[in-house]
Structure 1
Amino acid sequence: MNTRLLALLAPLAVIACSPEAPPARPPLEGARIGAPFALTNQDGKPITDAAFAGKYRIMYFGYTFCPDVCPVDVQNIGAAMKLLDKSDPELAQRVVPIFVTIDPERDTPGVVKQFVSAFHPRMVGLTGSPEQIAKVAKDFAIYYKRGKGTPDGYMMDHSRQAYLMAPDGRPLALLPQEGPPQAIADEIKRWAK
């Protein structure tokens, strides 16, 4: 065979023999997670999911009186957003971290505002009536239940996940809850285009 022809065909042979990985698909693609919602923001104003249209959303459900897990998770989300602010400011501006309380009886707009402002300046806190919270929690497959205790000292049992949602509201991926904030930032970069 002609050496010149062999030199031209060799790269094609390597490409043809290398299995090409299929394009990555978001792990939650097609999942029935999320739906339109109407809640109250940290400033006491009504807000719907339409206010976040065109933005990637991190949806985290918890409560401000949580003694350990929620503050750590929200702190990690806020730290991941600060990493994105530095490494990819354009992408960071297209991501809205959202904290939704599952304890609306105690988590008034003012309480939620104080909580989210401690973690990231663009973090949005949402609350609502018990019925509104029950609906949004169900739509996002969030389990929660008031635990035993006194009226001022009860705990809330709840599932623990942070969803990355697409600009059109579709679910893309679960964000890692364990590990460093960089892992959250990396997962956002992986799926947010």
Structure 2
Amino acid sequence: MIQQLLSLPPVTQFFLVLNVAVGAYTLLANPALIDKWAFKPFRVVRDREWSRWITAGFVHVGFAHLLFNMVTLFFFGPYVEGLLGPWRFLAIYMGSELTANALTYLKYKDAPKYSAVGASGAISGILFSFCLFEPFAMLYIFFAIPMPAILFAVLYIGLSIYASKREVGRVAHEAHLGGALGGLALTILLFPSSISIFLEQLGLM
């Protein structure tokens, strides 16, 4: 396992280690930091706690939450970083986290009790960047249900919009949507030929 981790591209490796280290520390040794670092739009507005835009992406509500995000990063991060290089990958990862929080901010800036944590926004951005290059790659939803990446992307966005409007469950659907759209936009901005690659895969070029 350590050998596999060391063989990963540098930025993917860095975020895996950082997320696991911070996640384990906050969950086991200092749970108070989860609330202190969570993204709370109302506090950002009232108290100008700008650091929450970043810190929220490295704390999780539980080990299952952390594990799901890190497994997704482990499988898709190396491909995207290998294709785009470390600096563009870093920009997409952090940029997607910020766009995820931006949508959350717009929706909940007047909600004093709302808070969100987790790397899901950044991970959504990386996953959607992958979908742009490999639209027909088979993804296994919940490790069991096969689905082409392009179909997954369409359903993911549609479901996120629907769930966000209805506020279904405790999942931050607007953050997932913001991260996914941010990942797509940043990939196209930083690697313009991704559009032609995508269209070629669809047989439109």
TM-score (norm 1): 0.25
Q: Which structure is higher in RCO with an 8 Å CA cutoff and minimum separation 6? A: 1
Name the one with the larger strand percent. Answer: 1
Rg larger for: 1
Name the one with the larger helix percent. Answer: 2
TM-score (norm 2): 0.24
